[in-house]
């Protein structure tokens, strides 16, 4: 069984797209795969209920519980690893997980950790991608699915989708156009990875 763990922080729309696609296209059955758990770092993440509605187990590992630790980020990541490893994951999927992960975490899941980023990488790594694209006068924007490495938003690219930047676009209108493509390419990228002999 190729087990998939999805990490979220909020509404989980990409997670929902993945779960919906796996059911409609049947790729979990085809590749003997299953989303075994959705984990959030926030207790009030709306995506947790969506996951439950799909019959997927959920868990919360709250990063705020580790503020008093000497190294809060590392302490959180170590606990997160313990929870994830209970599922022996084939893939760990970041779907709106709003935490910068430590090199220790990334190395632990090397070759199995993927992310989606709302820009055409390598352009506009980090935050505020849509506002920056508009400010720079870009004619096109988009989204990238990539493997995660220790360098933020710099892992090998698995798939991309392009959308036009229209006259009068705001960061919000552009984000909505990009998000519609995220929901298409992320499930497809996962489906392709599951079809490989080995994700690495």
Catalytic residue IDs: 117
Q: CA 188 to CA 193: how far, in whole Å?
A: 9
Q: CA nearest 183: which of 145, 156, 140, 146?
A: 145
Q: CA 188 to CA 106: how far, in whole Å?
A: 23
Q: What is the DSSP letter of 97?
A: -
Q: CA 63 to CA 47: how far, in whole Å?
A: 17
Q: CA 160 to CA 178: how far, in whole Å?
A: 11
Residue 190: burial class (beta carbons within 10 Å; 0-12, 13-18, 19+): buried
Centroid of chain to Cα 96 = 5
């Amino acid at each position: 069984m190729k087990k998939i763990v999805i990490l979220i922080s909020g509404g989980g729309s990409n997670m929902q797209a993945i779960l919906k696609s796996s059911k409609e296209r049947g790729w979990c059955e085809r590749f003997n795969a299953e989303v075994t758990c959705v984990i959030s770092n926030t207790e009030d993440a709306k995506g947790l209920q969506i996951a439950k509605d799909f019959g997927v187990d959920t868990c919360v590992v709250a990063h705020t519980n580790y503020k008093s630790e000497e190294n809060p980020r590392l302490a959180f990541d170590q606990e997160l690893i313990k929870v994830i490893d209970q599922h022996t994951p084939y893939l760990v999927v970041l779907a709106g997980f709003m935490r910068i992960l430590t090199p220790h975490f990334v190395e632990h899941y090397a070759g199995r950790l993927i992310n989606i980023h709302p820009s055409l990488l390598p352009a506009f790594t980090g935050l505020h991608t849509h506002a920056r694209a508009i400010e720079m006068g870009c004619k096109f924007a988009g989204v990238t699915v990539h493997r995660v490495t220790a360098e933020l938003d710099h892992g090998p690219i698995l798939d991309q989708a392009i959308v036009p930047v229209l006259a009068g676009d705001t960061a919000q209108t552009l984000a909505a156009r990009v998000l519609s493509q995220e929901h298409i390419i992320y499930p497809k990228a996962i489906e392709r990875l599951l079809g490989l002999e080995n994700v690495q």
